[in-house]
Amino acid sequence: MPDQDHTSSKSDEDRKAEAEAFKTQANERFTAECYEEAIDLYTKAIELCPNSHVYHANRSAAHLRLENFGYALTDASRAIELDKTYVKGYYRRAASYMGMGKWKQAERDFESVVKARPRDKDAREKYNKCRTIVNRLRFERAIAVDDEPQKTVAELINIESMTIEDDYAGPSLQDGKVTPEFMVELMAWFKDQKLLHTKYAFKILLDMKEYLVKQPSLVDVSIPAESKFTVCGDVHGQYYDLLNIFKLNGVPSETNPYLFNGDFVDRGSFSVECILTLFGFKLLYPNHFFMSRGNHESETMNQMYGFVGEVSAKYSSRMAELFTEVYNWLPLCHVLNGRVFVTHGGLFSRDGVTLDELRAVERGRQPPEEGLMCELLWSDPQPQPGRGPSKRGVGCQFGPDVTAEFCGTNGLDYVIRSHEVKAEGYEVSHGGKCITVFSAPNYCDTMNNKGAFITLTGGDMTPKYTTYEAVPHPNVKPMAYANSLMSMFV
C-alpha cells in the first residue's frame, strides 16, 4: 500500500498552525531583507492553506521588493479574490501595476482603497499622484498630431546661447570635443560632487544622439586575437563603484575596450555622474567603448526610480527630456567576434529568432510591452526547460533549451546578459551558455552582493570573472530622487 500523503493526513488545525509558523518565519526573513527566503516560506504557508488572503498578500509584498511585478500582481489579485474587502491587497496590486507602468489600472486600485478608507491621507495622496500621471499621459496623447510632427528636444536646444561663467573652474570641452584630459578631469570633478557645466552636459547629449541615430540596433564588435575586452553589467547610478571598476581594470581606452550592458541609471543617486562619464567615453572612443540599452533607459522607469528627479534637481527637466530622446537610440544588443551575444535582458518568446531580425528592430522609441525589443530589455533565464511567464510581468522567462536553440540558430557560443542582482556579481547557467553579470555591488546599499565584470580575449573568447566589494560613497542614500510613490516598494 503506498504511503499516505503527509499533508492530507493533517487536521485543519494542524495545517493552520504549521502555516502560521511558516508565515512568522517568513515575516522575520522579510524584515531582515532576505526576500527570496521569505518568498519560499510564504509559499510553504500557502501550500498548507491556499485560501489565506494574508499569505498571498505577504508574498506579493516580498515579490515587490525584488521587482517581480508579474508575480506580485498575481498574488495581490489572488488576495483580493479571496477577500474583496482586504485593503492591503489593493495597495499591493496598485504597486505591481505601477512597477509595470500600467497607471490606469493602478489608479483604479487606489480609488478602491480611498473608497474603503476615505480618511486615509496616505492612500488619498497616492491616488491623486497616480491620477495626475494618468491625466498627463492622456493629455500628451490628445495633443499628439500624426500629420504635424513635433520638434524634438534636441532641435529646441540652442547651445550657442549658453555662456560659461567666469567663475566656472571645472572640466571644459576642447573645441566642443571630448578629450582624454577632459575625461580625467571630469571623473575627478564628479568624485568631488561637483557638476559639469550645463552647456557641456547638453553638448555631450546632443553629440551622443547624433552619433547613436546612425548606429544599428545590433552592433557587431571585432576583438583582435590578443586583445582584452571587458563586459560590465548594471551600474545603476553607483558612481563610486564605477570608478572602482576603472581602478581595478584600467580606464577605458583604445587598448582597453569596454561594453556596458544597460541600466546605467536609476536607484543610485549619482546617476548623472555615471551616464555623463559613460557617454564621454563613448564619444572619445566610439569604436572601443560600447553601450547597450537597459530596461531602465526608459521614460517610465526614470520617472519612478529617480533619474528624472535627479537630472531635474541637478540640471533641468528639459535635460531629462533630452536624456529620454538619447536613450531611445541606444543599441539593443551586441555580438562579439560573431560568437558571443550580449544584451541587457534576455531571449525570446519564440524559437527561430535570427541576428538579422534583431538588426532590423526599430529603435527611436520607448520600449513596447511585447515583441523582440521588449524581450531583449526585460526577459530572464529560468533553470527548467521551456518558457514561462515573466516574474516581472514584462518579457518572458527562458530555459536552457531556448538558449541552446538561439545559439545554434545563430552560430553563437554563449549569451551574456545582466538585469538581475547576483550574490557573487555573476552567475553561469544553462550549461555555461547563459551568463549573468551585475556590476553594482551592495545594490541600493542593502543587498550585500558583490559586483563583477567579465574579461575575455579575442582569440578564445573564454569568460573570466573579477568580483569586488562596494566602496564608500558620500552620504546620499539610494533612491533619494525617486518618485514618492516608490515608498510602496520599500
Mean pLDDT of 151-157: 94
Domain boundary among 143, 169, 202: 143
Mean pLDDT of 112-140: 89
The rounded distance, in Å, linking the Cα atoms of 451 and 468 is 5
| 368 domain residue, yes or no | yes
Mean pLDDT of 20-38: 96
**Domain shared by 174 and 116, yes or no:** no
**Domain shared by 217 and 314, yes or no:** yes
Q: Can you give the CATH number for the domain in which 398 is found?
A: 3.60.21.10
| 3 domain residue, yes or no | no
For 370, the domain range is 159-488
**Domain shared by 165 and 126, yes or no:** no
Q: Is the pLDDT of residue 132 over 70?
A: yes
**Domain shared by 90 and 218, yes or no:** no
| 229 domain residue, yes or no | yes
Q: pLDDT value at position 192?
A: 98
Annotated active-site residue in 296, 419, 430, 473: 296
**Domain shared by 237 and 135, yes or no:** no
**Domain shared by 325 and 176, yes or no:** yes
Residues of the chain above pLDDT 90, percent: 88
DSSP state of 4: P
Q: Pick the residue with more confidence: 349 or 141?
A: 349
Mean pLDDT of 260-265: 98
C-alpha cell at 204: 555631450
The rounded distance, in Å, linking the Cα atoms of 301 and 98 is 10
The rounded distance, in Å, linking the Cα atoms of 282 and 126 is 40
| 2 domain residue, yes or no | no
Q: Is the pLDDT of residue 408 over 50?
A: yes
**Domain shared by 139 and 166, yes or no:** no
Model confidence at 415, pLDDT cuts 50, 70, 90, reads very high
| 7 domain residue, yes or no | no
Q: Is the pLDDT of residue 2 over 50?
A: no
Q: Pick the residue with more confidence: 486 or 417?
A: 417
| 149 domain residue, yes or no | no
Q: Pick the residue with more confidence: 405 or 138?
A: 405
| 153 domain residue, yes or no | no
Q: Is the pLDDT of residue 238 over 80?
A: yes
Mean pLDDT of 176-182: 98
Model confidence at 147, pLDDT cuts 50, 70, 90, reads low
Q: Pick the residue with more confidence: 355 or 487?
A: 355
Mean pLDDT of 156-165: 96
Residues of the chain above pLDDT 70, percent: 96
Model confidence at 148, pLDDT cuts 50, 70, 90, reads low
Domain boundary among 143, 172, 194: 143
**Domain shared by 111 and 226, yes or no:** no
**Domain shared by 239 and 364, yes or no:** yes
| 5 domain residue, yes or no | no
Angle between helices 307-314 and 317-327 (to 10 degrees): 130
**Domain shared by 168 and 96, yes or no:** no
Model confidence at 149, pLDDT cuts 50, 70, 90, reads low
Indicate the number of domains in the chain: 2
Mean pLDDT of 254-258: 98
Please say if 296 is a catalytic residue: yes
Mean pLDDT of 187-209: 98
Claim: this prediction has a pTM higher than 0.85: yes
Q: Is the pLDDT of residue 70 over 70?
A: yes
Give the least confident one: 8-12, 33-37, 365-369. Answer: 8-12
Mean pLDDT of 127-136: 90
- Spatial contact of 333 and 341, defined as CB atoms under 8 Å apart: yes
Model confidence at 1, pLDDT cuts 50, 70, 90, reads very low
The rounded distance, in Å, linking the Cα atoms of 381 and 437 is 13
Map grid coordinates 578564445 to a residue.
Answer: 460
Q: Is the pLDDT of residue 401 over 70?
A: yes
Q: pLDDT value at position 9?
A: 63
**Domain shared by 281 and 241, yes or no:** yes
- List Cα–Cα distances, 277 to 201, 265, 315, 330, 469, in angstroms: 10, 12, 16, 16, 21
Q: pLDDT value at position 490?
A: 58
**Domain shared by 252 and 374, yes or no:** yes
Side chain identity, residue 258: Y
The rounded distance, in Å, linking the Cα atoms of 72 and 50 is 16
- Spatial contact of 109 and 93, defined as CB atoms under 8 Å apart: yes
Mean pLDDT of the chain: 94
Q: List, for residues 311-335, the tens digit of each pLDDT value.
A: 999 999 999 999 999 999 999 999 9
- Spatial contact of 249 and 464, defined as CB atoms under 8 Å apart: no
Q: pLDDT value at position 3?
A: 47
Q: Can you give the CATH number for the domain in which 57 is found?
A: 1.25.40.10
Pairing between β-strand 451-457 and β-strand 464-468 as defined by DSSP bridges: antiparallel
Q: pLDDT value at position 488?
A: 67
- List Cα–Cα distances, 25 to 34, 44, 46, 433, in angstroms: 11, 11, 13, 36
Q: Is 8 exposed, middle or buried (0-12, 13-18, 19+ CB in 10 A)?
A: exposed
